[in-house]
Amino acid sequence: MRLQFILSEIGIGLRRNLSMSISVVLVTFVSLTFVGAAALLQMQIGAMKDDWYDKVEVSVYLCPQVSSKATCAGGEVTDDQKQAIEAELASADIAPYVEKVYFETKEEAFESFQKMYSDQWWAEETTADDMSPSFRIKLADPTKYQVVADVLSGRQGVDEVRDQRQLFDSLFLVLNRATMLSVGLAAVMLLAAMLLITTTIRLSAMSRRRETGIMRLVGASNMFIQLPFMLEGAIAATLGAGLAVAALWAGVHYLIADWLGSSVTWIPYVTTSDVMVIAPFLAIVAIGLAAIASLVTLSRYTKV
C-alpha cells in the first residue's frame, strides 16, 4: 500500500509540473553531456599520448656545411666527432635509456626532403649538401628525453637535439584547454540543473501542502512525506543522464568511429566501450545532484 501511494504521489507531482520536469531532464541532459564529453576528451588525450609518445624519437642533427651554432664553428661534422657521439650513445650513462639508434645520412635526409616538398618551388634550390645527417634515437622511456638532451646538447658536431614530442605538445595543450572549457560549461549547466530541480521540487511541495499536512496529522514520518518529492527529482535527473549517455554513444559511434575512424586511421580513438565506462559515473552525478537539491529544498518546505 505504501509503495502504491508513493508511486501515485510521484505520478501526480510529475503531471502537475510536467513542463518543469521536462526542463530538468533537458538541462541535466545538456550538462551531463558536457561532463561526459570532457571525460571522453581526456580519455582520448590519454590514448593518443600512450600511442604517439611510444613512437616518437629524439633527433640529434649533426652540423651541416653552414650553420650559425657555436658547436658547428668548424663546419660540417667530422668523422671523429660522429664517432665520439656514437660512443656517448653507447656509454653507461645513456645506453639504459636508449632502445635503438638509427643513423640518417645527408643523402637519405635529402631523399626524404624531396618526397615531402617536391611540389614546392623553393625546394628546387636545395641539394643534399644542405642537409644535416642525424642520429634518430628510439628511447626505452620517452619521458627521459632530457637525459639524452643534456648529454648531447652543446657537444662539438651537434647542431640541434630535438624531441618529436614537442610537435604534439601544442596539440595536447589545445585539447586540454578544450577539456577545461567543457568542464567549465558543465559546471555552469550542473548549477543550472540543481537550481531547476530545487525550483521544481519546491513548486511540487507547495502545490501539495494540504496533502502533506494531512499526512503529518496521521503520523507520517518526514521521510515518508519527502520520499515522493525526492524520487521525482531523481527520476527526472536520471532520465537526463540516460539521454546524455545515449547522445555520447551515438556521437562516438557515428561521428568518431564511423566518420573520423574511416578517414583518419592513424589516431587511436575512444570507443563506445569508453562511453559505457563513464555511464555509471554520469548516473551517480545525476542522482547525487537530485539528492542534494532535494535535501536542501525539502528541509525547508516539508519540515514539521
pTM metric for this prediction: 0.62
Q: Where are the domains of the chain?
A: 2-53+169-301, 58-163
Cell of 231: 524520487
For residues 11 and 15, give the distance between their C-alpha atoms in angstroms, rounded to a whole number: 6
Kindly list the distances between the CA atom of residue 252 and the CA atoms of 29, 182, 202, 243, in Å, as whole numbers in the listed order. Answer: 17, 16, 37, 14
Range name among 7-11, 68-72, 142-146, 256-260 with the lowest pLDDT average: 7-11
pLDDT tens figures, 95-117: 888 888 888 888 888 888 777 77
Among 237, 233, 246, 280, CA closest to 26:
237
SS3 271: coil
Kindly list the distances between the CA atom of residue 12 and the CA atoms of 210, 214, 227, in Å, as whole numbers in the listed order. Answer: 14, 17, 13
Could you tell me what percent of the chain has a pLDDT over 90?
7
CATH number of 58-163: 3.30.70.3040
Which DSSP symbol is given to 121? G
Among 261, 271, 274, 268, CA closest to 54:
268
For residues 200 and 21, give the distance between their C-alpha atoms in angstroms, rounded to a whole number: 7
- Measured over the CA atoms of residue 215, residue 219, residue 224 and residue 226, the dihedral's sign is positive
- Amino acid letter, 86: E
pLDDT tens figures, 246-288: 999 999 998 888 888 777 777 788 889 999 999 999 999 888 8
